Amino acid sequence: MTDVTATALLLGGLLYLEWQQQRQLQIKTKSSWLKVVVAIVAALLIVALFWSANTISNLRLVILAILVASVGLYRQGLGKTKVITYGSVAHASDYQRYDRVITETIKQGTMVTFWSKKGGSYSLMFDQPEADIREFFKENLPQNVALLTAEEWATLENRDAQDDRQRQADMLAAIRNRPQRNRLPWQKRGRRSEVTRKG
C-alpha cells in the first residue's frame, strides 16, 4: 500500500505542475478531439481489461488510467517565456534553449518548429495565422534566438551547405598541394635518389 500511496502522491504532484503549466498558455495548439477521445478510451480500456479482485492492483490501474487520460486532456502551446508541452516543467523548454524558431503557413494554420544545435528540433501546429504567431514571438523571444520564415530557413540551410562544401574542398586542396617536406619518408627517399642520379 505504501508504494501505491507514494505513486499517487507523485502523480498528484505531476498533475499539479502540469496544471500550473496550462495556466501559462498564451497561444494554444490546434485542438484534436481524436487525441482526447483516444486518451480517454485507452484509460477506460486499461481499467476494464485489467480490473481484478485485488484492491491494490486496482488502485495502480486507476492511477495509470488517470496518467494516460491526462496526456490527451492537457493542451500544448506557447507561454511568454517557454514552449508549454506535456512534461516540460521548470525551464525544460525555455525559448532561450533554442537557436532558431521557424514559422510556416500550412493548410490548417501555422506550423512552428523549434530548432536547437544541441537538442534537435520538434514542431507544433496552431490554428492562428502566421502573422499573429510571428508578432507574439517578436514580443517574447530572447534576442539570441533567430525568428525565421520557412523560406529564410531554406536559404540559410543552402548557404550553410555551400559553406561546408567549400570548406571541404579547401581542405582537400590543401592536402593535395602540401609542401614537399610533408611527404611520407619513402617518398622523400625516392626524391633524393632522383636528385642524386641527376647530379
Q: What is the pLDDT of residues 15-63, one digit of tens each?
A: 888 888 888 888 988 877 888 888 889 889 988 888 888 888 888 888 8
For the cut 70, the answer to whether the pLDDT of residue 189 exceeds it is: no
Please report the pLDDT score of residue 157 as a whole number.
78
Q: What is the pLDDT of residues 64-113, one digit of tens each?
A: 888 888 878 888 899 998 998 877 766 668 899 899 999 999 888 899 99
pTM of this structure: 0.67
The residues facing 27 across adjacent strands are 78
Q: 142: exposed, middle or buried (C-beta count within 10 Å: 0-12, 13-18, 19+)? A: exposed
Please report the pLDDT score of residue 180 as a whole number.
56
For the cut 90, the answer to whether the pLDDT of residue 120 exceeds it is: no
Please report the pLDDT score of residue 137 as a whole number.
94
Please report the pLDDT score of residue 50 as a whole number.
84
For the cut 60, the answer to whether the pLDDT of residue 191 exceeds it is: no
Please report the pLDDT score of residue 188 as a whole number.
57
At 76 the three-state DSSP class reads coil
Task: Name the DSSP class of 181.
Answer: G
* Spatial distance between the Cα atoms of 178 and 19, rounded to a whole number of angstroms: 64
Distances (CA, A) of 159 to 103, 164, 176: 19, 9, 26
Please report the pLDDT score of residue 126 as a whole number.
92
Please report the pLDDT score of residue 63 as a whole number.
84
Q: Sorting pLDDT into bands at 50, 70 and 90, what band is 139?
A: very high
Place of cell 500550473: 20
Please report the pLDDT score of residue 174 as a whole number.
73
Residues in the chain: 199
For the cut 70, the answer to whether the pLDDT of residue 181 exceeds it is: no
